[in-house]
Each structure stands twice: as structure tokens, then as C-alpha cells.
Amino acid sequence: MTTLKTHATGSPMGVFVAKWALRSVALASGAALFMGCEPAIQKPKPSVRSNVVVPLPPSPELVRKPYEKVNKDGTLTVEGILRERATYIGEGVTVRGVVTKLTRCAEPPPEPEPAPEDKPKAPTAKAGAELPPPPPPRPPRTCSPPPHFFLVDKNPVSKRELLVYGSMWSVLPTLKEGAEVTLAGQFDIVSKDGVFLRQAGLLILDDLPEVMPTPDAPPGEAPPGNP
């Protein structure tokens, strides 16, 4: 009996058990009180289905549209030469289109009048022949940016642009923005001087030969070079 009394009242194990029981009861009471006071969570109401119709763009056409390879006069179109570039690379071609984005060299300033002793001697004309006026000096062949433009088809359906490169000694200086022209040149990927490189291809214009004046032949005499 003494042993049981000591265990119940004064042993360390009894004290620990009593404290643990009290803590458990306190925690259980606090949890119950907390759960009883927690407000109920309201669920969100389902959203109303929208009746707004969103317009979508039309589906793209995957079928390749037909195009005109040549014009009625037999010249190539810009669309035709660029779509079939592999056929014409390195070949001489004739293309017809409209000039756009034209870039030319600026007009050079007038040269000062040379001194009389520095002027070249004018050629003498034969009796009865008249010497034409000397041609104006040729402008610089190229500049920066180099002279070039783009050629487009007159048909607005075509959106392709053909790069055309030519020096100031070619027909390029005589062209006007928006003019429809027929051009002959070399179709290639890179220009001969390496100024332009375009994988889609470009048209290279040749320089025009310099025209030298010849004296007018007197009546009854053929001009030089003719029988």
C-alpha cells in the first residue's frame, strides 16, 4: 500500500503523467473552440456564359495562286523571274516593270573653266564640214550609296520587288520614278563589282558606250566609217 501511495502522489513519473493529461485536455478544448468560431467559406458562384462573338480572320489559302510569268510583249514579269530565279541565274534577260525607290548619284559641281593654255586643241574640220559641240563630261560612274532602284509589276496583286543595279554610265540616270520601262541586263546573285549581293537575285545593267562626236560630212561626201 505504501508503494502505491508514493507512486500516485510524489513520484516524478506521476507528476509527468498528470501534466501531460492536463495539456492534452487544454489543447483539445482550444481546438474545438477554434473550429467552432471559424467562419464558413462561401463557394464562388458559377460565371455566366458570354454571348459575345469574336470575329476571326479568314483562314489563309494554302493553294498557290497562278501568276503571269511573261507580259503580252514577251518580256518577263518581276513575279516570273523571281519565282523561277534558278532558271535565269547567270543569264541575260529582259524584264518589264515600274521603277520605284530610285537612288541616283548627286549632280557633280561644275568644273572651273581651264586656262586658255590648258584647253585641249580642238580637232580641225575638213573643208565644208562643221564640228559638233563637244559632249558634256561623263559623271562619276558610281557613288555612295550606289545608284540602284527596284522594279515592280504593274499588276498590284504582285508584291515582289526586283533589285536593279547600274552605274551612272548606264540607262539608270535617264529613268524616272513611277515610269514603266523595259530593261535588258544580266540576272545574277552578286554584281560584278561586288557592291550588291542578293540571294533572291538582281538585275545588272551594262554601261552604255561613250558616244564621240564626229564632224558632219560636207554634201556629197559620206561620213567617216561609211563607204
Q: How much is the pLDDT for 16?
A: 59
Confidence of residue 49 (pLDDT cuts 50, 70, 90): confident
User: What domains lie within the chain, and their CATH numbers?
Assistant: 66-106+138-211 (2.40.50.140)
Q: Is pLDDT above 50 for 225?
A: no
> Mean pLDDT, the chain, as a whole number?
78
Q: Is pLDDT above 60 for 10?
A: no
- The more confident residue out of 129 and 178 is 178
Give the whole-angstrom CA distance, residue 36 versus residue 28: 12
Q: How much is the pLDDT for 119?
A: 58
Q: Can you point out the beta strands (E) in the chain?
A: 91-103, 148-152, 162-165, 180-190, 197-204
CA proximity to 140, closest of 160, 167, 179, 118: 167
pLDDT digit string (tens) for 52-107?
Answer: 888 888 887 777 677 889 999 999 999 999 999 999 999 999 999 999 999 999 87
- The more confident residue out of 32 and 24 is 24
Q: How much is the pLDDT for 219?
A: 47
Confidence of residue 37 (pLDDT cuts 50, 70, 90): low
